[in-house]
Amino acid sequence: MDERTQGALLLAVGGITIRLGVTDAALAYVKPGIQPLLAVAGGFLVVIGLLTVIRAFRGKPDELDLHGHADHGHGHQPGHGPAVAWLLTLPLLALLLIAPPPLGAFAASRQSDRPPAVTGSDFGPLPEPAADGAIPMKVSEYVYRALYDEQESLKGKTVRLTGFVTTAEEPGAAFQLTRFMLACCAADGQAVNVVVRTDQPAPPVDTWLELDGTWVEREGHETGELTLTSPLIQATSFRQIEQPAQPYE
């Protein structure tokens, strides 16, 4: 691979990385906080690629071929390096044009249903309620409060959660509302689930919902103690929505 080919590849990868860093395309793979780092890394790759290409085209016009003879542009020196480099970027371009969806019900089904443990017991005040009185919160925050908040701050409150539908295995449950938490990127995503009770039919798996409901204390679980089961919620209403721009928490 000659320098022109290397430079073209660096330019292509750098440009794609910048695009991921400045648009929502990267949110299917990483947390929003990673996007600035992608943009900066892409900028460095573009600069290095430009310098590599400039150096390659400023090289000596007459190079020796494999037999030690000078090549004066009569076809002995390969001239299609950059074209080959652009062909090598086609898989990257396909990734942008046909981006895979974010983690969903299938990925969640491959993980344990065990809820994450929480460190510390000071949850602070609840978020401010919306105009209709429902308290919007993350699925993960609901899970932590429902299982480990010894002050039972959710008791008697109507909360609003956003997540996608997954299958519930336990009796009496209609479905689960699920969301993935990321530490860094989709590779370390952890699904958090809320078991939904409702008289309405369960929506199809992977349907995104905005759900209002009230906390239901799980029988046999002492609030604040570690547990292997996800918390419950009694749904008062839910509606289908589009997938959020930021699908992860």
Domain ranges of the chain: 3-100, 106-240
| pLDDT single digits (tens) 171-218 | 889 999 999 999 888 888 899 999 999 999 999 999 999 999 999 998
- What mean pLDDT is predicted for residues 135-149? 94
How much is the average pLDDT of 133-139?
Answer: 96
Please tell me which residue, 192 or 25, carries the higher pLDDT value: 192
Residue 74 pLDDT: 47
Q: Average pLDDT of the chain?
A: 83
**Alpha carbon distance 118, 71 (integer Å):** 69
Question: Parallel, antiparallel, or unpaired for β 190-197 and 175-181?
Answer: antiparallel
Radius of gyration of the chain (CA): 26
Point out the least confidently predicted range of 17-21, 71-75, 93-97, 239-243. 71-75
Q: Say if domain 106-240 classifies as CATH 2.40.50.140.
A: yes
- pLDDT at position 186: 81
pLDDT for the residue 76: 45
Helices 3-22 and 90-97: angle between axes, nearest 10 degrees: 10
Q: How confident is the model at residue 67, as a pLDDT? A: 47
Query: Would you state the pLDDT for residue 161?
Result: 98
**Strand 208-216 relative to strand 175-181, pairing:** unpaired
More confident residue, 83 or 225: 225
Of residues 191, 225, 246, the one with CA closest to residue 30: 246
Question: How many CB atoms within 10 Å of residue 92?
Answer: 15
* pLDDT tens-digit series, residues 56-95: 888 644 444 444 444 444 444 444 555 555 666 677 666 6
Q: Which residues contact 84 (CB under 8 A, 6 or more apart)?
A: 5
